[in-house]
Amino acid sequence: MIDLRKSDPQFKWEIAKREGGEGLLKCFGCSDCAASCPVRYFDERYNPRKIIRFTLLGMKDIVLKSPFLWFCAHCHACTERCPQGIRVAELINAIKNYAVEQGYCPDGYKMQLDLLMKMGRLYEVEDFDLKKRQRIGLPPIDKTIPEVAKILESTDILKVLKK
């Protein structure tokens, strides 16, 4: 049961004014997004409609703490089909960004950032890989890309994630 006394009436406005969140208020709950979603097809716990409706009701805690918010695969099937023209995938993105700002970020994303900062890649390049490349006639690549760390430093992402 949800007690709307705990809801934050400003939450939907916070999301709606963000980049990608503009369409939020247009949702009339047809659930075409959920019906189109390939992720939901495999895992029913993920449901874009519910994320949007909880956001509209101002249930900040439920939305931001939910691990399922992060399941979106960004295939944009929902965006194509939404009858109200909401860019649903981008809307989910906007909610994610807001969640991160509020300090709700899954550990996996933090680890990915650490890897990028350390070597500029998500996957480590080992000698095995270099040998394999040589065998099929490809030039060697750098094990680390320090420029990526510089780029990341110039954005706000480190500040935001440290929160």
Partner 1 sequence: MNNKIRVLICNCHGSVKLPKLEFGPDTIVEQHDNLCNVKPKISAEDKVVIAGCSPNLLEGIYPEINAEFVNIFEHIALIGHPAEKANALIAAAIEKAKHTEPIKKKTFEIKHKKALVVGGGIAGIEVAFQLSKNGVDVTLIEKKPFLGGTVAKLDRLYPEGTPYSHTLMPLISNLGSCKKLERLVNTTLTEVSGRPGDYRVALKTVPRGVVECINCGKCIDVCPVEVDDDGKKRKAIYYLPTYPDSYAIDFDTCTKCGECVKICPGKIDLNEKINETEINVGAIVVATGLNWYDVKKVEEYGYGRLEGVMKTLEFERAVASGTLHPKKVAVIYCAGSRDTNHLPYCSKICCLLGLKEAKLVKDRFPEAEVYVIAMDMRSYGTFEYLYNKLRDRGVSFVKGKPSEILKRNGSLVVRTEDLYTNELLEIDVDSVVLSSGFIADTETFSKLNIKLDGDFPVLFENAGLGSHELPRGIFTAGAATFPSGVAETLIDARKASSSALNLLREDRIETRLPQAKVDEEQCSLCRMCIGTCPYKAISIVDDKIKINEELCMGCGICSVTCPSYASQLEGWNHRGLYEQIRALVDKGDLLAIMCRWSAYNATERAAQDRLSYGENVKIMRVPCTGAVDPSHVMLALNKGARGVLIGGCYPDACHYARGNFRAKARESILRMNLELMGMDKNRVRLEWIGKDEAQKFIKIVEEMNK
Positions touching partner 1 (CB under 8 A) are: 1-5, 9, 12-13, 25-29, 49-50, 53-54, 56-58, 84
CA 73 to centroid of chain Cα atoms: 9
Q: What is the per-residue DSSP string for 21-39?
A: -GGGGG-----HHHHH-HH
Of 8 and 80, CB closest to partner 1? 8
What's the rounded Cα separation, in Å, for the pair 11 and 132? 52
Virtual torsion, Cα 161, 6, 93, 70, nearest 10 deg: 70
* CA–CA dist 2, 149 (Å, integer): 43
Structure tokens at 29: 């709950």
Residue 23 C-beta: closest distance to partner 1, Å:
10
57 vs 145, beta carbon nearer partner 1: 57
- Give min distance, CB of 56 to partner 1, in A: 6
Q: Which is nearer to partner 1, 24 or 89 (CB)?
A: 24
Min CB(14)–partner 1 separation in Å: 12
Which CB, 18 or 50, lies closer to partner 1?
A: 50
Shortest separation between residue 91's beta carbon and partner 1, angstroms: 14
Identify the CA nearest to 23 among candidates 62, 59, 56.
56
Closer to partner 1 by CB, 84 or 102: give it. Answer: 84
Intra-chain end-to-end CA distance of the chain, in Å: 31
- Closest approach of Cβ 74 to partner 1, in Å? 23
